[in-house]
Amino acid sequence: MRRTASREPGSLTLVLLPLIVAAAVVATTATTPVLGYLKLGTRIGPRTVNIKWSDFPIRYYVTERGTAGVTAQQFQTAISTSFGVWDAVDTADLSAEFAGFTAANPLSGDSMTVLGYQNRPDLDRVLAATNFIIDTQSGKVVESDIFFNTAFPWSTDAAGVPGRHDVQSIAVHEIGHLLGLGHSALGETEVIPGGRRVLGAEAVMFPIAFAAGSIHDRTLKADDLAGITDIYGTTAAQRSHGSISGRVTKNGGGVLGAHVVAFSTRTGALVGGLTLNEEGGYTIAGLEPGPYVLRVEPLDDGDVNSFFDEDTDVDLDFKVQFHDRIVVVPRGGGVRDVDIKVTAK
């Protein structure tokens, strides 16, 4: 995954694009985002497999070089804290361990998971990127590297520094990808010359970041928690959490790429999902039990290729609407056939 950015007055929009790096030793495949609501997947033969780590702790290295305003030690501390943010999710079972500093570069294809800097002024919208090497036989993640683009100014200041991107905020997002999460569409933007401006977002995994200096993305939101619980849920979470699934249809046919948002009237949690096939099927998993209302909108608050392959025929021609039934998520199960009919604009 790579994070791209476009400049705009007072803000910088960031977009993550799926990317899988091929390696000579371990064959890889093209990514096929996504399964569930934002899980990264890859196609192995005829089947699609979610990207998921199976061996814990995930041992990662940090490059021994710093950049302007951030020493290697400060960078490593921010990275460890960011891994800790995900590790601290009590409904998910995962862990990571700092294995040491290394002279190796990220994207090195050396079977080491490395986080570090690269100077890529050519990628003028890319702040950071996450890449995977996957064993095409087993589907296991062999290596995942994250680079931070030193073409942009960085900071690890506790309160953030205006004009500088917060290493921890960006790292939490990228590590979400490293763990197998794709993008959340849970945000609203407006198009302005040169890019998009974020009006609001409620997921660290939203592809477009807040302006430089923001530290909002240091903290996971309900959508992120649901996603990581869906992939790495503890046994207790699997028994206590549930899902909503169904179809979004228009004129009797499925709608591909519709953004379905579940809102808990009890907790205020917002969790989103996408319809991922021609039938308009969607699943929103990792939900706490209780009543939810659903809202469906076109995927028009980010570049479609932040979520799907460029050639995916995502349907944007329908009106935003609410579902007229309260949907109740059971403990440890799913409510199915929650079908929502939308109408063309």
Partner 1 sequence: MRALGRLACLLAVACVPSAAAAQVYIGPAAPHRGSIEVGGGVTFVPGFDMGSRTADLTTSSPTTRYDLFTTDSSVGDFTGLQARVGYYFSRAISLEAFVRYAQPELSVALSGDAESAADVTATETASHYVFGGSLNFDFRGASFAGDRGVPFVSGGAGYLRELHEGNMLVETGVEYHATAGLKYWLGSGAHRFGLRFEAGLSAREGGLDNEDTRRVQPMVAAGLSYLF
Q: For partner 1, which is the closer residue by CB, 55 or 190?
A: 190
Say how far apart CA 31 and CA 305 lie, in whole Å: 12
Among 263, 307, 308, 318, binds partner 1 (CB under 8 A): 263
Half-sphere exposure of 157 (CA within 13 A, CB side): 15
Q: For partner 1, which is the closer residue by CB, 45 or 268?
A: 268
Q: What is the largest CA-CA distance in the chain?
A: 57
Smallest separation (angstroms) from partner 1 to the CB of 287: 11
**Sign for the pseudo-dihedral over CA of 185, 190, 196, 201:** negative
Smallest separation (angstroms) from partner 1 to the CB of 81: 20
Say how far apart CA 181 and CA 285 lie, in whole Å: 13
Give the contact letters, 210-239, x = binds to partner 1 (CB under 8 A), - = no: xx--x-x----x------------------
| DSSP class of 74 | H
Smallest separation (angstroms) from partner 1 to the CB of 50: 27
Interface with partner 1, residue 268, by CB under 8 A: yes
Part in contact with partner 1 (CB under 8 A); list of ranges 109-117, 136-144, 274-282, 313-321: 313-321
Cα distances from 173 to residues 70, 195, 219, 284, in angstroms, run 19, 20, 10, 20
Interface with partner 1, residue 169, by CB under 8 A: no
Q: For partner 1, which is the closer residue by CB, 192 or 199?
A: 199
Smallest separation (angstroms) from partner 1 to the CB of 5: 15
Part in contact with partner 1 (CB under 8 A); list of ranges 36-44, 71-79, 138-146, 259-267: 259-267
- Closest alpha carbon to 202 in 186, 191, 218: 186
Smallest separation (angstroms) from partner 1 to the CB of 266: 5
Say how far apart CA 109 and CA 143 lie, in whole Å: 7
Q: For partner 1, which is the closer residue by CB, 34 or 329?
A: 329
Smallest separation (angstroms) from partner 1 to the CB of 241: 12
**Prior bond of 329 cis (ω within 30°):** no
Say how far apart CA 304 and CA 237 lie, in whole Å: 32
Burial group, residue 235, by CB count within 10 angstroms (0-12, 13-18, 19+) = exposed
Part in contact with partner 1 (CB under 8 A); list of ranges 27-35, 50-58, 248-256, 327-335: 327-335
Q: Which helix (H) or strand (E) holds 223?
A: helix 222-232
Contacts to partner 1 by CB under 8 A = 11, 186-188, 198-202, 210-211, 214, 216, 221, 261, 263, 265-266, 268, 270, 289-291, 293, 295, 297, 319-326, 328-331, 335
